[in-house]
Amino acid sequence: MTNVGPNKTAFVSGASRGIGLACARALAETGVHVVLAARDALKLEEASRGIPNSTWVTIDLSSADSIKEAFAKAGKIDILVNNAAVTKDGLALRMKKDDWDSVISTNLTGAFLAIQQVLQHMMKARWGRIINISSVVGESGNPGQANYVASKAGLIGLTKSLAQEMASRNITVNAVAPGFIETDMTAVLSQEVKDNIIGHIPLKRFGRAEDVAAAVRFLASEEAGYITGAVLNVNGGMYM
Ligand code: NAP
């Protein structure tokens, strides 16, 4: 079992389902206290009931006030997993500014503001782990997703800059870039699109939320203490 260390608290955004929920479970298994966060209180309550050693708090990452409130309720955070994200796909030519703004605001600005809420405690404790969930498309680009891809590429830049700013305080900052993972986000794809995608994945399958959670748990661990500024691909080899 990966050693994350006793008496630590992790905050996982977007933890009501999918990859975030799997990350919350994986971290809780190591003995860490986990705070699950998302917008829907009912779903959070249900998710948290299934994870011993967890609590939950509502957060809307598109709102600076909501972010402040949620972290004030959550208390001191040692491990932050910025996982929540939304998509509003469309070709750039016709993309509405609102669709650009809302995706950047939730996925990138929300992650940045969440980081600002946890840095002071981590700096004081001289220990911290920040893990930003990016995406394979943040590295490769993807037509029809200019807003989402910009947010995910932005998270990689944020990760590398912050890793350099925070290294002297023993705070590591890394990104995980999942490929295509079976969750609600990809359930909307037609079978034809899915078959086409699998054709481009060397490991010939979609990933599972648990595949991503294992990488997050590792980056949160003591064993990963010398890794910072990295982008860990969990993509079946579809982008190298
Ligand atoms: P998902 O199933 O759509 O879940 C998204 C989570 O984020 C939910 O818990 C949702 O809960 C929460 N959320 C959405 N908007 C929010 C907001 N404004 N404030 C707070 N929470 C919000 O997504 P997923 O597939 O698990 O993806 C998780 C992460 O992995 C995302 O960063 C995604 O970009 C990344 N990723 C996924 C894939 C994939 O194939 N699935 C591939 C690459 C990267 P509420 O709606 O209740 O708020």
Torsion of CA 109, 99, 177, 24, to 10 degrees: 70
**What pLDDT sits at residue 4?**
79
**What pLDDT sits at residue 144?**
98
The answer to whether 226 is a known catalytic residue is: no
Ligand 1 pocket test target in 11, 42, 83 with most atoms within 8 Å of CB: 83
**What pLDDT sits at residue 5?**
62
Ligand 1 pocket test target in 87, 139, 156, 185 with most atoms within 8 Å of CB: 185
Structure tokens at 82: 């910025």
> Atom 28 in ligand 1: which residue has the minimum CA distance?
19
Maximum Cα–Cα distance for the chain, whole Å? 51
- Structural domains in the chain? 9-233 (3.40.50.720)
**What pLDDT sits at residue 93?**
98
* Site residues for ligand 1, CB cut-off 6 Å: 13-14, 16-20, 38-40, 43, 59-62, 83-86, 106, 133, 135, 178, 180-181, 183-186
* DSSP bridge partners of 177: 233
**What pLDDT sits at residue 228?**
99
Q: Give per-10-residue mean pLDDT for the chain (240 aa).
A: 79 98 98 98 98 98 98 98 98 98 99 99 98 98 98 99 98 98 90 93 97 98 98 98
**In which region does residue 178 sit, left (phi positive, over 0), alpha (psi from -120 to 50) or beta (all else)?**
beta
Structure tokens at 73: 């309720």
- Span from the CA of 161 to the centroid of ligand 1 (angstroms): 24
**What pLDDT sits at residue 186?**
86
Q: Spell out the long-range contacts of 159-166 with Cβ–Cβ below 8 A and sequence spacing 24 or more.
A: 159/130, 159/132, 159/134, 159/229, 159/231, 160/229, 162/115, 162/130, 163/228, 163/229, 164/229, 166/119, 166/122, 166/123, 166/128, 166/130, 166/228
